[in-house]
Amino acid sequence: MIGNFIYSNPTKIYFGKESLNGLREELPKYGKNILLVYGGGSIKKNGIYDEIITILNECNKEIFEDAGVMPNPTVEKLYEGCRRAKEGNIDLILAVGGGSVCDYAKAVSVSAHCMEDPWEKYYLRMEDVDNKIIPVGCVLTMVGTGSEMNGGSVITNHKQKRKIGHVFGENVMPKFSILNPLYTFTIPKYQMVAGFFDIMSHILEQYFSGNDDNTSDYIMEGLLKSLIHSTKVAIENPKDYEARSNIMWIATWALNTFIAKGKTTDWEVHMIGQSIGAYTDATHGMTLSAVSIPYYRFIMPYGLEKFKRYAINVWNVNPNGKTDEQIAKEGLSRMEEYMIEMGLVMNISELGVKEEMLEGIASGTFIMKGGYKILTHDDIVKILRSSMK
């Protein structure tokens, strides 16, 4: 292990088929006014909305609704949410949806009582919160981001062509999250597999950094193996409860800060993906899948030892009679085959990226320092270009 750290995660998890009952335990802890935040209406179609309204009424809550949170929530929507939260004198924000709804709820939670422009303060200047924070609780319906148990909040500003995430501290993390794998059965296939790859990318971007002997790397190899196994089952049968519940729990652990402790991390794929998202509004997981193989092939020579370990331990590549480079390459080829089998988007042109956007996307990409190679602007353009069809 390297580095000293403090580990604490305040989010209480209710997991399983009966987990919504957790709301009955949690709601009495907060005041009367609840801001019920959700997306474009999937929760009305699959009945989750009705279940939640029933419990809110049972608990005598005053319900203020904030619907229409879009995938990749925008800064304009954030301003609207702040107005609603202030007008309703909100005591708890209840987010019911995927990462976008949870991220948005956290953004409103820190912004409603902020005297400055929250986009500038939190997302451009990355400042800490120094005003009242409205508590957030989540009912998760889409799996991938880990937003249910972390302080992350990603907001998109289309006018400025920037998509930026702020990782807030413990005081902003959800107070509780309800994880019912049954709720994930209705996710459309495209979203489902995008979520699967989001999880994989979160793990890989913490794995491909550093070469010390680190317990987290062993944990991540285990999470990856379980993820690969369960996603293959879920692709065949999306209603396989065992597989969907494993995936839901892996997603939470992939990004609830635990596996990052005591080690360095990379996050360059996410930075490139977010910049692609700012230009295209594409589905988050697909922005990652489209650049991952080009990125990893590009940095492989700089982190050969770890890529070899990944090939053997995660993809079961037989090392006998092969050079380190051959082993590492075979591991990435197996990963690529798996990604194609899952139906992931493998090139950025499919996401709407045009040649003339490449320079802008590269300029909007934050350069991280924890990976095996610190990228230059031209490196990013090169990686993007090799993801064009």
Q: Interface with ligand NZQ by CB under 6 A: which residues?
A: 39-43, 46, 71-72, 97-101, 103, 141-142, 144-147, 150, 152-154, 165, 183-184, 186-187, 191, 195, 198, 255, 270, 284
Residue 147 binding result from ligand NZQ, Zn ion, none, given CB thresholds of 5 to 8 Å by partner type: ligand NZQ
Residue 100 binding result from ligand NZQ, Zn ion, none, given CB thresholds of 5 to 8 Å by partner type: ligand NZQ
Which of 35, 327 has the CB closer to ligand NZQ?
Answer: 35
Report in angstroms how near the CB of residue 31 gets to ligand NZQ at its nearest: 25
**103 touches Zn ion by CB under 5 A:** no
Report in angstroms how near the CB of residue 268 gets to ligand NZQ at its nearest: 13
Type of residue at 4: N
Which of 111, 309 has the CB closer to ligand NZQ?
Answer: 111
Residue 146 binding result from Zn ion, ligand NZQ, none, given CB thresholds of 5 to 8 Å by partner type: ligand NZQ
Burial class (CB in 10 A: 0-12, 13-18, 19+), 10: middle
Residue 88 binding result from ligand NZQ, Zn ion, none, given CB thresholds of 5 to 8 Å by partner type: none
Residue 331 binding result from ligand NZQ, Zn ion, none, given CB thresholds of 5 to 8 Å by partner type: none
Report in angstroms how near the CB of residue 194 gets to Zn ion at its nearest: 10
Report in angstroms how near the CB of residue 102 gets to Zn ion at its nearest: 12
Report in angstroms how near the CB of residue 20 gets to Zn ion at its nearest: 26
Tokens 């019911």, residue located: 96
Which of 66, 198 has the CB closer to Zn ion?
Answer: 198
Report in angstroms how near the CB of residue 40 gets to ligand NZQ at its nearest: 3
Sheet holding 92-97, edge to edge: 12-15, 176-179, 136-140, 92-97, 33-38, 62-66
Residue 103 binding result from Zn ion, ligand NZQ, none, given CB thresholds of 5 to 8 Å by partner type: ligand NZQ
Q: Which two tokens stand for residue 1?
A: 């292990």
Residue of this chain nearest to Zn ion (CB atom):
198
State whether residue 174 is helix, strand or coil.
coil
Contacts of 48 (CB under 8 A, 6+ apart): 96, 139, 141, 183
Dist. CA 104–CA 164, nearest whole Å: 12
Which of 181, 273 has the CB closer to Zn ion?
Answer: 273
Q: Report the DSSP pairing between strands 162-167 and 136-140.
A: unpaired
Name which of 294, 268, 271 is nearest 348 in CA terms: 294
Residue 183 binding result from ligand NZQ, Zn ion, none, given CB thresholds of 5 to 8 Å by partner type: ligand NZQ
Give whole-number Cα distances, 148 to 13, 140, 173, 367, in Å: 9, 7, 8, 26
Residue 296 binding result from Zn ion, ligand NZQ, none, given CB thresholds of 5 to 8 Å by partner type: none
Give whole-number Cα distances, 386 to 123, 224, 285, 324, in Å: 30, 26, 18, 24
Report in angstroms how near the CB of residue 332 gets to Zn ion at its nearest: 20
Dist. CA 277–CA 267, nearest whole Å: 15
Which of 241, 338 has the CB closer to Zn ion?
Answer: 338
Which of 81, 98 has the CB closer to Zn ion?
Answer: 98
Name which of 387, 373, 208 is nearest 291 in CA terms: 387
Q: Which two tokens stand for residue 159?
A: 């006018």
- Contact indicator for 152, 269 with CB cutoff of 8 Å: no
State whether residue 263 is helix, strand or coil.
coil
Name which of 316, 296, 315 is nearest 304 in CA terms: 296
Report in angstroms how near the CB of residue 268 gets to Zn ion at its nearest: 13
Residue 205 binding result from Zn ion, ligand NZQ, none, given CB thresholds of 5 to 8 Å by partner type: none
What number of chain residues touch Zn ion (CB under 5 A)? 1
Task: Tell me how far the alpha carbon of residue 285 is from its chain's centroid.
Answer: 8
**End-to-end alpha carbon distance in the chain:** 41
Between 193 and 232, how does the x/- string for binding to Zn ion read (CB under 5 A)? Answer: -----x----------------------------------
Residue 275 binding result from ligand NZQ, Zn ion, none, given CB thresholds of 5 to 8 Å by partner type: none
Which of 192, 380 has the CB closer to ligand NZQ?
Answer: 192
- Residues near Zn ion (CB under 5 A): 198
